[in-house]
Structure 1
Amino acid sequence: MPDEIWVSTVGSNYWLFDKLGIREKHYGQDWAPPKFEKSALAETQYQNVLRYSRGEKLEREDFAEAAYVFDPKRWSRVKDLFALRGFFCVKGKLAELLKGFDLGEGGLVEFPIYEMDKTTRLPGPFYFLNFGSQKDCFLPGESKKAKLLARNKKTGVEIWERPIEPSDGDVAVSESALDGADLWVDPKLHSVIFMSGPLHDAIEAAQLGIDFSFVKARIV
């Protein structure tokens, strides 16, 4: 519905993003080794992931340059939403669906995925989901079970944690959430993606086999 706002906590679905059988190459660096255990990100890469989680628009070079499949069996099970070193990625029906919606200043950033030889490119296409859209819409005082994580003493900016298992109406937003992009992040609320009613409805109708863990926000 156009006058609805939905919250997705899909990023907390560990099983959806664990051991996908792919590894990455960052710009100016070698390919990551073909194993599930991952080393810590370099400081610049880590900061890019933090910026991404706040819904800031990233440049192409801020994402990984490419990826390759080292475990074809696991990769064959990957759905239209997956992750690569802290960034959401999309393919297939979900990617085509998102192209029809307002993604604000963000959008879909295409990148290559190769076979084990790191030369033969998979057909794809594959995209990073570049959020690039923020809305100051979350209302912690009107929300239920939200927990304050941190407050910047100089700026007064607060970071809140959502309920562990939110229900419809637990997360309150202002009416301003109805304007603008269909997909966004409020940097005040940790680990949450917001979606418009039409985008939520389209994802549900597409029957992607992905549990987005949707709950309806309460508009104040």
Structure 2
Amino acid sequence: MIFLSESSVAAAAQAPPAVPGANPLTELPLVGPLVAGADESVMDLGMPLPLAQAVELILLVLGLFFLGRLLVGRVVPWLARLLVGPVVVLIGGLRVLFLLPDLAVARTARRTAARPPVLVYAYGHAVLDGADHLQSAVRTGFPAVAGVTRWSGKVAGLALLAYALYWNGTYCAGLGGQRGCEAPAAQWVSSVKTTLDEPDGQDGPDGPKGAERTEKAGKPSAPKKD
């Protein structure tokens, strides 16, 4: 049986859980596995982790920016023009569906030789006019989306920035709000500061100074003289 001291149990209870993944970019959807593979490659080359993360971040931002620019400048206008016909047909089908109550009331009134209420006529005209306006807006508005190609770079950049801010702000929430979790931006800042403060690994835990600090920390302090 293994007995634990009260101090060790208290230290284990107070220690924050480790944040999963050394590189927060590996938690990104779709591109996370690619970043994890790149981590292994750059670490095999002996590149420091903060530098590797900076290079991966720059490459990832550039790749996503050009991909977003391609989507906004090429795919979105093409898709908008392609959807004009189907959306117009869909609106026409919804118009028929919404006119079914009007038709039912009109037929019932004819069978009873009664005049349909004025509200029924108003409802029918509203459905017809609304459908016509929607179809006209689709025919003119969807092709106009092609004009967004002039601002494809700005749109892609703003979308990428908005997603980065959202991901950084909700990173810890996605991990279940673990105690001791840091946002990716804070992790990178801490990693860079650590690298700058520990040149060539001299102050790191495996370096000479780090070993010296560890050795001193393990020695009991001398009792004070009265």
Instruction: Give me the TM-score of the superposition, normalised by structure 1.
Output: 0.24
Q: Greater RCO between the two (CA within 8 Å, min separation 6)?
A: 1
Whichever of the two has the greater Rg, that structure is: 2
Instruction: Give me the TM-score of the superposition, normalised by structure 2.
Output: 0.24
